[in-house]
Amino acid sequence: MSKIYQVTGIGLNEKSLQLQETIFHNANGYIGVRGTLEEGVPADFDTMRGMYINGFYDIAPMKQAEKLCNLVEDKESMLNVADTQTIEVSFDGQKFSMADDADCRYVRTLDMEKGITRREVDWSNKEGKQLHFNITRMASFEERSLFTIDYCFQSIDFSGTVEIHSRHLGLVRNYFNPNDPRLAGESHNHLKKEDVHICESGACLVSSTIESHLKVASAVANIVTVNQKRQPSEVVTYDETAHAMDVSYRFDIRPGDEVRIIKYSIFTDSIREEDCRNVADEKLSKVVGQGIASYYKKQQEYLKEFWNNSSMEIVGDGDLNESLCFNMYQLLQSAGYDGYSSIAAKGLSGEGYEGHYFWDTEMFMVPYFAMTNPAIARKLLEYRYKTLGKAKENAALLGHKKGALYPWRTITGRECSGYYPSGTAQYHIDGDIAYAVILYYKTSGDWEFIKEMGLKILLETNRLWLDVGNYYKDRFVINCVTGPDEYTCIVNNNYYTNASAKYSMQWCLKFIQRLAEEKDAYQQFVKENDLTEEEIQAMKEAEEKMYLPYDETLGINPQDDSFLQKPIWDLEHTPQEEFPLLLHYHPLHLYRYQVCKQADTVLAHYLFPDYQDKETEENSFRYYEKITTHDSSLSTCVFSIMASRLGLKDKAYYYFGDSAKMDLLNTHKNSKDGIHAANMGGSYMAIVNGFAGLRAEEETLFLAPSIPEKWQGYHFRVRYHGSLLEICVNKETCSVELLEGEAVSLCIYGQEYTMDAGSRKAELSYQEN
């Protein structure tokens, strides 16, 4: 199956270009580069020209109207760290610009097997002379600090003088939009000049952040050839005020001549490197010495292994396959890999939500990596472990005597949410992170991770639950919190929150019991964490007596204690131009109605199926689907999964719909600000956990596949306890094959199987739910 996405066009269109800046961005989990044009765009175009480092930030003010105790008054923002993209080429004085040739034809390609983007342009200058451009970009998975531009052009019938300027800007600003709450509302100067260093390989500019006092180094080298013969640079200039470098070349070409500019950019930062400038210099020398061909080869090898683990195909639906490949590749590009970072809501593709990490990572992206590339899932959870201390500080700021409360949105672990009703009050983030820890353990069997990090996360978050909750009428209740639905805030006993707390406590107790079998390790854990028997018993009692709201009249789990008391919002007669509601109605107005931005109780039913019966799940599903707007991109995939579980095949396919194509089709009209990373994970889950009915438990992998009427079949690969499995489903059979690894216990349609070296494949007849 081809893993190539292409767009063709004629001329330069502002709206198309805005979307393409996101779709054709390059990233590798450390650096991200927007797919902007090397030559730039007309001054009146709205463009987000950005180069980012995952986890690199500065601090910006976030003024509160009233100075109440411990409200957040500043925030961390992911920075645009430099601009090494600019390459300007002139032909007899006329700059190459797609805006100057309305008839120029272009093809933009994302090759997900080679790990590159390519832009090909047929362009004519004002004299009608033609040139062909072929520009390839790569963010290397082999050397994460490396971004390359392989800029080639050939004269078709042009003869004359070529002038090239390769620019390197060390002081840049972030994009802002005061009319969109999902973007920074004002522009701040975050960087100042620190150092410049010209070495044999190229030049390195070092900048530092104004408030966070971090350093970033960007080192650049240019290799220019004409017909494979290297050209010397004519002028190298440094503008001290702008902290900018310009390397220029000038020569003559004739028809048939081929010019190639290879621009190597290295990025390093002081979060990860003590001396980021010297490290950048050393890495630049290394990559230039090895050459770009070497890194192209290693990029392809890395992705071959990635696709071997992540293979997925829908038989007979090429457009959907294209979207699914795109989504999985974007998740890989977005994922922090070193424990210093996680996955921002927009990955590294743009500045929507300012590069913050939310619950999205643990609930919609860790599941994908846990099932395909568990080493990445572990690193994402390691980031949460490293920020556990700050989560404890955050809990103390909110008045809690014990425990850890992870911030709703953050980069380093500090709370960056200025509006606490739909931000800090979402205490369920503690349950979300705990869920991801447990899921990773179930799929990987990595007990060492639980002992080293996972159990500490669960213990501190459960201490928070014990502190925030209390007993009322012999039930453990949790008041004044907000669930996943941000149209309903500051409520008592949000069903999702209470269920996630119960689940976390249940597994924390289970892990403690298992650790107790390792006497020395248990004693050390007890000592390091001041764990007492009284605390264990308190957790056990709270788990057993956790209040989970239930309405006998409707036979549903109410979203919270007061939800059913409110009038129902008339979604049917709400004009389409008033969606999303959050941009058109005051929050308090929304809070007074039964209207949901996204799956809340329905999500709890998917995650915690043992806490209610199937009849309650179906009643609740049908109730909440009538009042859910799906204004959040995280919603329809959850409804699809639950519809699959309930045997509602048509609804499952309806809610799956175009969710997998959200960014390629720009269905939410805001993909220009960056990808919807969590939705990408959610569309994967809708297939694997929804249609295929996959559920990982400690010792057994469960499957109950169904197939949408419009599909001929589907197959995908997953990792379970280190073994690689391939699941194939069509309208006649369902098969599971052990491709590599140790024995695996399966349960398919309720029948138990053991896959091992002697029995590597199980095949049985397809069954309707």
Please give the pLDDT value at position 716.
98
Q: Is the pLDDT reported for residue 185 higher than 60?
A: no
**Helix axis angle, 533-544 relative to 455-468, nearest 10°?**
70
Please give the pLDDT value at position 183.
57
Q: Is the pLDDT reported for residue 629 higher than 60?
A: yes
| pLDDT band for position 167 (cuts 50, 70, 90) | very high
In percent, the amount of the chain with pLDDT more than 70 equals 98
Q: Is the pLDDT reported for residue 179 higher than 70?
A: no
**Which whole number is the average pLDDT over 262-282?**
97
> 326-346 burial string, b = 16+ CB within 10 Å, else e?
bbbbbbbbbbbbebbbbbbbb
| pLDDT band for position 301 (cuts 50, 70, 90) | very high
Q: Is the pLDDT reported for residue 766 higher than 90?
A: no
| pLDDT band for position 186 (cuts 50, 70, 90) | low
| pLDDT band for position 178 (cuts 50, 70, 90) | low
Please give the pLDDT value at position 389.
98
Whether cis (ω within 30° of 0) applies to the bond prior to 609 is: no
What's the mean per-residue pLDDT of the chain?
95
**Which whole number is the average pLDDT over 76-92?**
98
Give the helix/strand (H/E) hosting 466: helix 455-468
Please give the pLDDT value at position 758.
78
Q: Is the pLDDT reported for residue 336 higher than 70?
A: yes
**Which whole number is the average pLDDT over 444-465?**
98
| pLDDT band for position 235 (cuts 50, 70, 90) | confident
| pLDDT band for position 668 (cuts 50, 70, 90) | confident
How many CA atoms lie within 13 Å of 612's alpha carbon, on the beta-carbon side?
A: 29
Please give the pLDDT value at position 200.
72
User: Which of 9-13, 321-325, 584-588, 760-764 shows the lowest mean pLDDT across its residues?
Assistant: 760-764
Contact partners, residue 294, CB within 8 Å, separation at least 6:
none
User: Which of 50-59, 173-182, 217-226, 700-709 shows the lowest mean pLDDT across its residues?
Assistant: 173-182
The rounded distance, in Å, linking the Cα atoms of 704 and 175 is 46
Backbone angles phi, psi at 745, to 5 degrees: -95, 130
**Which whole number is the average pLDDT over 515-537?**
97
For strands 160-169 and 244-253, give the pairing: antiparallel
- pLDDT, one tens digit per residue, over 206-220 is 999 999 999 999 999
Q: Is the pLDDT reported for residue 346 higher than 90?
A: yes
Q: Which residues are catalytic?
A: 486
**What's the pTM value of the predicted model, to 2 decimals?**
0.96
Q: Tokens standing for 670?
A: 């805001």
**Which whole number is the average pLDDT over 508-521?**
98
| pLDDT band for position 182 (cuts 50, 70, 90) | low
Higher pLDDT, 485 or 668: 485
